[in-house]
Amino acid sequence: MNGVHDMGGMAGLGTIDQIPDEPVFRAEWEERAFALMWATGALGKWNLDELRHAIERMPGAEYLATDYYVHWIHCVETLVVEKGIVTRDDLLRAWRGEIGAPNPGSAPMTKDVATHIAMKGLPLAVESNRAAKYQPGDRVLTRTIHPDGHTRLPRYARGKTGVVERVHHVYPFPDTNAHGDARPQHVYLIRFTAQEMWGGDASALDTLCIDLWEDHLDPAA
């Protein structure tokens, strides 16, 4: 989307502070936010792209001023209300201590399941006999789009020419899957030169690879 959440290629955000021997979680509430995300996700009420889009709908100023796991909590609160699992009034009353934490039912999440997901990930590829539109070596042009909703085509990579390096499997198209339409299609690893991305002052030796979906691409002239 065209919001502050798409920070790729932006300047002026400062350096990334590296903390020696940084713990996995800096506070207990971060552990709880991590567990809450997995447990509610196991209910099967939303997909990964809906999750990302829920985070992207945070107000820009709030997003920039809060920590990573605050974004996760916002996402869970947004989705459990939108999917009818609990009401916003329930969440507010629980936050004020007027009632216990809302219970959407027993989520099918166990330690073994969580460990497997953390180590192996989730299978998202779609079985399909659909032929790939592009092949390795094809030159493609990324589309110039400015959606209000979710997209996995970064702003800095729009309207750029690259070369197909690899054809991946068929996956749901994130830009529509975030809104209930899976529209499965092939994913491609596209290689761009740094100069194509950043202009003539960039290194002529550097390249950047991005996984993009078929609907992000057109044949290059």
User: What tens-digit pLDDT sequence spans the chain (221 residues)?
Assistant: 778 888 887 888 888 888 899 898 999 999 999 988 888 888 889 999 999 999 999 999 999 999 999 999 999 999 999 999 888 888 888 777 776 655 655 555 676 766 766 676 667 889 888 899 999 999 999 999 998 899 999 999 999 999 999 999 999 999 999 999 999 999 999 999 999 999 999 999 999 999 999 999 999 98
Q: Write the secondary structure of the chain as one string of H (helix), E (strand) and C (coil).
A: CCCCCCCCCCCCCCCCCCCCCCCCCCCHHHHHHHHHHHHHHCCCCCCHHHHHHHHHCCCHHHHHHCCHHHHHHHHHHHHHHHCCCCCHHHHHHHHCCCCCCCCCCCCCCCHHHHHHHHHHCCCCCCCCCCCCCCCCCCEEEECCCCCCCCCCCCHHHCCCEEEEEEEEEEECCHHHHCCCCCCCEEEEEEEEEHHHHHCCCCCCCCEEEEEEEHHHEEECC
